[in-house]
Structure 1
Amino acid sequence: MENIDDILKEAIQKATTERGNITILIAGRSGVGKSTLINSVFQQKIAETGQGRPVTQNTREITKEGVPLTIFDTRGLEMSQFKETQAELEKLIKERASDRDSNRHIHVAWLCIQEDGRRVEEAEVDLHNMLAKHMPVVAVITKARSDNGFKNEVQALLPESKNVVRVRAIREEMDDGHAIEPMGLESLIELTSEVIPEGKRRALAASQKANLNYKKSQSHKIVAGASTAAAAAGASPIPFSDAAILAPIQIGMIAGITSVFGLELSKGTLSTLVASAIGVGGATFVGRTVVVNIMKFFPGIGTVAGGAISAATASAITIALGEAYIAVLAEIFAENPDAVPTAGEIGEKLKQKMKKAGA
């Protein structure tokens, strides 16, 4: 069996590679609320805390260490030199599209239009038409309070947009004393997911904090894949071979889920989580594995039966572990979307969850 350090290292590398990086271009006039939207949707208030650098006269590239997201924040829609601004932006888009690294492509554009203004400017239509030639565009109506047919108007004027979604990024206190809550952010993530390459959906899940169910759905896919691989490993007719194969599969699953939830993916974090999982489920797992592997020593029906039982067991244990881990992370982030839990805190909650589940 591989050294545990090697398994951890490989799991981190695989999870990081499979998650990749997503790039979103966010365009809109001054005052439309782009920074507020970005900070409400994405982790670590990236519009405030991220590193920004100018890539054209009116476009900034924003990144943040540990967040698999690049944002191009485009400004200058009101400027008299708008045609020059748009030409510079299109040049940048084409350069990115020609890069061999798909992580550097611009995968989707959010064109933000403020609902209060009740109009779509000619510059916004022109920009929409240009962007739609190169990437999927989602029209985002910001500061949504009262539609009054404006969404239909936007859809008619921006027909190349893949969808139009009304959002309100933050809770707003009205003059009459009542408050209106944020809206549309979960839908924005779901609609964006539908138009980006499938290989970028884990990066979207990891980067955003607005849609917890989206993180969970991407994590369930990882568990399903690990379960299938575990069943195949468990069905191996070679005695004791499955234990050596199962460990990397289950550690890889934990790494993948960790990355999708946007948590730090380091050897220290992963080793703490693995130790917590094994500490609860290890004895049961070892007991079942030994019995089944002894059966494999008997030729004929013993081998077939042993393999079948082991496959089912390996799959069931893998699913139980993965789903328990997803449930723990979901509980943490449901309570606080901006939480930064330590590996020790997560590991303790995982132990408790698995004990309750009888793992």
Structure 2
Amino acid sequence: MKFTDNKYNMIQEILEKTEAEIEKMKPVNILIAGKTGVGKSTLINNVFREKLADTGIGKPVTTHLRQISKEGIPIVLYDTRGLELDPSVQKKVKDEIFDLVKQNKNTKEALHAVYYCIQANSSRIEETEIDLIKKISSVLPVILVLTQSIGKSAEDFNRYLDNLNLPVAAVQNIMAEPYEITDDYVIPPFGLKELIDKTLQLIPKEAHDAFMNAQHADIERKAKAARRWASRYVATTFGVGFAPIPFSDASVLIPMQVTLLAHITAIFGISMDKATIVSLLAAVGGTGSATMIGKTLVANAFKFIPGAGTIIGGIISGTTASIVTSALGLSYIEVLSIIATKEKEGESIDLGLIERLVRNQFKKNITLNRKELKSKDLEFGSDEALKDAYNTYESMEEESHSVSVPKKIKRALSKFAENHKPFNKK
């Protein structure tokens, strides 16, 4: 940690620890195969964050393979370029894939899985393509991804492929983006969450954290993973044997809470900046010295814990510290879920509303008043907690948008006049 005049910047600490957590992740490596025009880029941009196909660096590694990666995202994709039905081309692609698998085996660049993309509407698969899929499947687990899966023909094609008994791990229909039928009827995206689930079943467990960070198709799964980790961390850190601490020394909680928030941020893998984290922390504690944050956070928490007011100025028990820290973690996860969703949809967030939401969720989570913290108490039995956070934020947005421009102008003029009274003529 960096200290300056007995203080340290909690915000910078969270950012640095988040970066360190991501660097520790074992990267996940996936091959994206399929003919030109089947929607590979669309799939990549909708499964992985920051529109990786468009913004990532594409580096040629062979004649027909290019590597797509981006700093800060622990995933490397290998895209087959120009894969057509010409047998000679397919042989070259197959040879390059096999060479890549052999070359990277037992290294951190080792390939973990393959998405072989076929356009569902084509309702056909050539013998040369079947042969290529079989050969790739002999060295890597393959998921057949049926892109643009609209209507009954896509379902029929899925069944047809199943009946071929190809040596693949799964066949998954997807619609990566909304499909507009008419102005009034749009088919929403589907199949991406199932693709995430099937991928996690195939890749090594040590690569799960990296894949979770990189994907943004299933925000709820990120939240569940974060809560599972937070529950174990809080229960372990503030166990039964945790020594009680004086309220005046509440700042000792901060290093533990920094670690908690940094790990959660790493799981979500969203573009957090200092301004956003300042707003999140200001809602429940503050952003000054560690001592001030610790005292303020605990003091705010005591307002909501029944019977805890008598502890102020006295001793903070391990259980009370657990409640405060778990409430902070849960609130942080719920709000990051909304930020991640907005980022995925290309929408900006209102930091003022986010700050209000953190305060709202923190107050709600602190009143759970768990007498004994257990891991299972913090895990999602359903997505109700997230839905509640989403609904609360949407209500805040609607309330904010309901204020008409004339009213805003009127308020601004009134405030200006109030601030400049000494200059008014008598």
TM-score bucket (shorter structure): 0.7 to 0.9
- Matched residue SS, 2:266: helix
2:121 aligned to 103, 116, 121, which one?
116
Q: Partner residue of 1:98? A: 106
1:240 Cα offset (Å): 5.8
Counterpart check, 1:84 vs 2:92:
yes
Relative distance call for 1:168 and 1:43 in structure 2 (3 A) is same
Q: Partner residue of 1:217? A: 224
Q: Partner residue of 2:197? A: 190
Counterpart check, 1:251 vs 2:258:
yes
Cα distance between partner residues in 2 of 1:125 and 1:333: 38
Counterpart check, 1:132 vs 2:140:
no
1:38 Cα offset (Å): 1.2
Q: Answer yes or no: is the 8 Å Cα contact 1:276–1:347 preserved in 2.
A: yes
Relative distance call for 1:120 and 1:290 in structure 2 (3 A) is farther
Q: Answer yes or no: is the 8 Å Cα contact 2:170–2:198 preserved in 1.
A: yes
Counterpart check, 1:180 vs 2:187:
yes
Relative distance call for 1:9 and 1:182 in structure 2 (3 A) is closer
1:238 Cα offset (Å): 7.3
Cα distance between partner residues in 1 of 2:183 and 2:348: 36
* RMSD across aligned positions (CA): 3.5
1:190 Cα offset (Å): 1.6
Relative distance call for 1:276 and 1:86 in structure 2 (3 A) is same
Cα distance between partner residues in 2 of 1:222 and 1:343: 26
Q: Partner residue of 1:281? A: 297
Q: Partner residue of 1:200? A: 207
TM-superposition CA deviations, 1:9-68 (whole Å, max 9, x none): 773355224544322211011121111111222212111121101111111111123322
Relative distance call for 1:264 and 1:334 in structure 2 (3 A) is closer
Q: Answer yes or no: is the 8 Å Cα contact 1:190–1:214 preserved in 2.
A: no
Structure 1 unaligned blocks of 5 or more: 296-308
Relative distance call for 1:135 and 1:346 in structure 2 (3 A) is farther
Q: Which moved more, 1:62-71 or 1:268-277?
A: 268-277
Cα distance between partner residues in 2 of 1:332 and 1:238: 35
Relative distance call for 1:191 and 1:206 in structure 2 (3 A) is same
Q: Decide which structure has the larger Cα Rg and report it.
A: 2
Relative distance call for 1:131 and 1:243 in structure 2 (3 A) is farther
1:256 Cα offset (Å): 1.5
Cα distance between partner residues in 1 of 2:220 and 2:69: 24
Identity of aligned residues (%): 31
Cα distance between partner residues in 2 of 1:123 and 1:290: 76
Relative distance call for 1:267 and 1:151 in structure 2 (3 A) is same
Q: Answer yes or no: is the 8 Å Cα contact 1:230–1:246 preserved in 2.
A: no
Cα distance between partner residues in 2 of 1:340 and 1:326: 18
1:175 Cα offset (Å): 7.9
TM-superposition CA deviations, 1:198-238 (whole Å, max 9, x none): 22222222222221111112211221122122323x72347
Q: Which moved more, 1:38-47 or 1:265-274?
A: 265-274
Q: Answer yes or no: is the 8 Å Cα contact 2:80–2:93 preserved in 1.
A: no
Relative distance call for 1:175 and 1:341 in structure 2 (3 A) is closer
Q: Partner residue of 2:384? A: none
Cα distance between partner residues in 1 of 2:129 and 2:64: 15
Q: Which moved more, 1:11-20 or 1:191-200?
A: 11-20
The residue identity in structure 2 corresponding to 1:106 is L
Cα distance between partner residues in 2 of 1:11 and 1:290: 35
Counterpart check, 1:227 vs 2:234:
yes
Cα distance between partner residues in 2 of 1:290 and 1:230: 24
Cα distance between partner residues in 1 of 2:266 and 2:196: 18
Q: Answer yes or no: is the 8 Å Cα contact 2:57–2:69 preserved in 1.
A: yes
Q: Partner residue of 2:399? A: none
Structure 2 unaligned blocks of 5 or more: 287-295, 368-426
Relative distance call for 1:210 and 1:64 in structure 2 (3 A) is same
TM-superposition CA deviations, 1:137-157 (whole Å, max 9, x none): 211111111235321222343
1:26 aligned to 23, 32, 44, which one?
32
Cα distance between partner residues in 2 of 1:70 and 1:123: 27
TM-superposition CA deviations, 1:72-110 (whole Å, max 9, x none): 1113242333212211111112222232xx3x2222211
1:161 aligned to 163, 168, 177, which one?
168
The residue identity in structure 1 corresponding to 2:358 is L
Q: Answer yes or no: is the 8 Å Cα contact 1:15–1:252 preserved in 2.
A: no
Cα distance between partner residues in 2 of 1:105 and 1:143: 30
Q: Which moved more, 1:344-353 or 1:255-264?
A: 344-353
The residue identity in structure 1 corresponding to 2:79 is D
The residue identity in structure 2 corresponding to 1:91 is D
